[in-house]
Structures are given as C-alpha cells and as structure tokens.
Amino acid sequence: MKYDFDKRVDRTNKASYKWDQSEKLFGRADILPLWVADMDFESPQEVVEAIKQRAAQGIYGYTIRSQAYYDAITGWLSRRHGWSIQQEWISSSPGVVPALSIMVQAFTEPGDGIILQSPVYYPFYDVIKMNGRKVVDNPLILEDGYYTIDFDLLTEQLSAGAKMLFLCSPHNPGGRVWKQEELKRVGDLCVAHDVLVVVDEIHHDLVLSGHKHTPFASLSEAFADRAITCIAPSKTFNLAGLQAANVIISNEQLRQKYNALLKTLSIHMESFFGLTAIESSYTYGDEWLDQLIPYLEGNLNTLLTYMQEHLPQIKVIKPEGTYLVWIDCTNISSDHQVLKSLMFDKAGVAFSEGSVFGKQGRGYLRINIACPRSLLVEALGRFKLAIDTTAKS
C-alpha cells in the first residue's frame, strides 16, 4: 500500500492542541502551526481500523493487556532495533513525561540533583523542578552545527553526587542519534558512579538514513541494570492523544518500585484505546514507517535547500533523527520576544521558540517538519517574507 503524506488534512475544529489554540496562544487564528511534536499525517490505516473496531464494541470497560499486546512490543523492539527483551520487563505509563516524573519520585529524594543535557525537551526541566529536585545542566557542546556530550563536565557532575541522568536518545531538539561509542561512555560513567539512567527513547523509530539508533540498555547488562527506558508509539505513528507509553526495566528491584508507585497513583491500568494503538501500530506499522522516513527526509532536504537559497543567515542544525529541526536564528535576533513577534505577528507561523529548551536555545527555533510538504513550503515562505519585510522597514 502506498501512503499519501502529501494529503492535507484539515485538523481545525477537532480539539487539536496544535491547530485549535492559535488565537489563544499566538493572538491570531490563521497561524500555520509547526510547533508541538505531533504530525499532520493520518496514522497507518491498520491502526485506524483497529481503533474503529475497538470503538464499535460500544462498551468501554476496564481492559487488560493481552498476549498479542506484549508480543507486539517485544516483536517491534527485536525487529526494528535488534533489542531482545523479556515480556516481564514491560510496564506502562500514560505517557513518557508522566513516566519521567514517576522515576523522579520513585528513585530520588527532594533536593537531589538530576542531570539533563540542554538544550532539551522542556518538560525535562518541569518534572525535575516541580518534584522539588535540582536541575544539573550538562549542556551539549555545539561545534560546526553538531552537538556532542560534554563528558568532562558530566564526570564532574556525577562525581559531585547527581542521582539520576535524563538521557534523551535520539535527542530533541538537537537531532542527534547518539552513536554507540557515545552511549558507552555515558553508560560507563553512570556505572562507575552508580547513577540511574532514565532513557527517553520516544524518537527511536524516527531515524534518518545513514544513522542507527541503539537502545542504551541493549549495550550491556551493567547498563541495563541501571537503565529505565521509556518508549511509545506516539511520535512514530502520530498517536500522542491516546496517551499510551511503555517503560522497560530489566532490573527487578527497580521495576517493582516503579510498578508500586504506578499502583499508588492508581495509574497502572492501560487505557482502552491506548492498548489497541500500541498493539496495532507495533504489529502492522512497519510499511507505513518505512514510507514515512523517506518523506521526512524529503521535507528535510526541502527545508535545507530553501534555507540555503533564501535565508542563508539562518544556520540549520541538520538532524540525524526526529522530525524536529533546530535552526540558529541568532543572525536575525537572539531576543526571544523579537523572534516570537516575527513568527506570530508578522509571518503567521508558529515554530517552537528556542529559549524554553534551555538558555543556549536563545535565538533558536524548532520547526516540526512532519507535515505535508506544501504546508512546510508555505510556512517557510511566510517566514521569509516576514524577515525580508522587517529588514526593509
């Protein structure tokens, strides 16, 4: 089956977080929203059908995880990532961010330091701070448009007593798909300092040609023993509204503690549709995903060419994975208010404003390219026109 990612689907008036809040958030309704990370593509047909069939049951009572559900997850991880896991290691969560927050509560104490690598997905800060823990920032090093980990600082921070590391792999918004050598260095350091690694692998399926995602916990038993891996089909198959994620923990003690807290919070049951989404997407989604990746690569190339030809003052951090493109607009302005006004008031586009990802994000924007190409081109055109008009006035 050939999927049509060029098809523009009207998402307005559907209670869409991205499409139905423009007036409220940006002051005008006609914004092209290329910000929050969901895609403007319909999910795979098999997933839509499975959810329709589930809806047709007409009774939406409490549900259980079937063998097919577990097989779908273990099959996907083995097929797509070469990661062989045992069914018992699988737990769940209403989302990856809720899982991060639960990890913080389960495995750290108020006041403990938790390391993140900025610029990074902004809820990482929230779950640390709102749980009364301290953010220990290990900023990524940006050189020639390429992010790497500051291992010297990481070593210092681990030695100074940080209790947990949030590893975003692949990295949002830096776009890096960490190489095995990099992951091994991180893992060795965390083993040496006996620190837990919460690995957010939500973007693991969205890896562009020439790169390979390695599940951190698959690298060694010692890493797996202190790794808590969060995955979800939500980014891969555009299912974020169904709030279904999985947590893989091979260390039995850690898993029991996590599961006990899930139960304490009474969020250990799976959602009726979330379960179906996980099972059907991991069972039938390969072909769709294999077509999605080249389409995203086409969009990335379109953006790169457009920037080079029309907006050379903007530097693009070329992603290796995710559908999020981090652009350096410091040659236009490092003032986030100026960039916001340029996007929202003048251009009528909404990319994500960079300072929310950390202070190195000032002067940066993040563009979500998971949309029909014509929409991306329209948004870039609006952005360029606003920049040109502002420069002249």
Instruction: Summarize as ranges the residues that interact with ligand PLP (CB under 6 A).
Output: 37, 95-97, 121, 168, 172, 200, 202, 232, 234, 240, 245
Nearer to ligand PLP, 89 or 166 (CB): 166
The two tokens of residue 50 are 């499975």
Report in angstroms how near the CB of residue 234 gets to ligand PLP at its nearest: 5
- DSSP-derived secondary structure letter, 321: B
What's the CA gap between 227 and 200, in Å, rounded? 10
Report in angstroms how near the CB of residue 168 gets to ligand PLP at its nearest: 5
**Residues forming a β-bridge with 148:** 141
Nearer to ligand PLP, 112 or 200 (CB): 200
Nearer to ligand PLP, 95 or 348 (CB): 95
Other C-beta atoms within 10 Å of 260: how many?
12
Pairing of strands 141-143, 146-148: antiparallel
168: exposed, middle or buried (Cβ count in 10 Å: 0-12, 13-18, 19+): buried
Element (H, E) at 287: helix 286-310
What's the CA gap between 178 and 203, in Å, rounded? 12
Report in angstroms how near the CB of residue 120 gets to ligand PLP at its nearest: 8
Nearer to ligand PLP, 126 or 225 (CB): 126
Q: What is the DSSP string of 14-55?
A: S--TTTS-HHHHHS-TT-EE--SS--SSPPPHHHHHHHHHHH
**Residues forming a β-bridge with 326:** 317, 366
Nearer to ligand PLP, 107 or 166 (CB): 166
Nearer to ligand PLP, 127 or 376 (CB): 127
Report in angstroms how near the CB of residue 365 gets to ligand PLP at its nearest: 16
Report in angstroms how near the CB of residue 387 gets to ligand PLP at its nearest: 27
Report in angstroms how near the CB of residue 346 gets to ligand PLP at its nearest: 26
Residue, CB closest to ligand PLP? 95
Nearer to ligand PLP, 207 or 386 (CB): 207
User: Dihedral, CA atoms, 375, 378, 382, 385, nearest 10 degrees?
Assistant: 160
Element (H, E) at 253: helix 252-264
Other C-beta atoms within 10 Å of 301: how many?
10
Report in angstroms how near the CB of residue 268 gets to ligand PLP at its nearest: 16
Report in angstroms how near the CB of residue 25 gets to ligand PLP at its nearest: 17
**Listed residue (105, 193, 103) closest to 155, CA to CA:** 193
What's the CA gap between 188 and 287, in Å, rounded? 36
Report in angstroms how near the CB of residue 274 gets to ligand PLP at its nearest: 10
Nearer to ligand PLP, 95 or 363 (CB): 95
CB 186 within 8 A of CB 167: yes
Report in angstroms how near the CB of residue 352 gets to ligand PLP at its nearest: 10
Nearer to ligand PLP, 122 or 338 (CB): 122
103: exposed, middle or buried (Cβ count in 10 Å: 0-12, 13-18, 19+): buried
Nearer to ligand PLP, 177 or 202 (CB): 202
Q: Which residue has the tokens 């014509």?
A: 374
Nearer to ligand PLP, 20 or 287 (CB): 20
Give residues with Cβ within 8 angstroms of 359, minimum separation 6: 118
Report in angstroms how near the CB of residue 171 gets to ligand PLP at its nearest: 8
Element (H, E) at 365: strand 364-368
CB 282 within 8 A of CB 73: yes
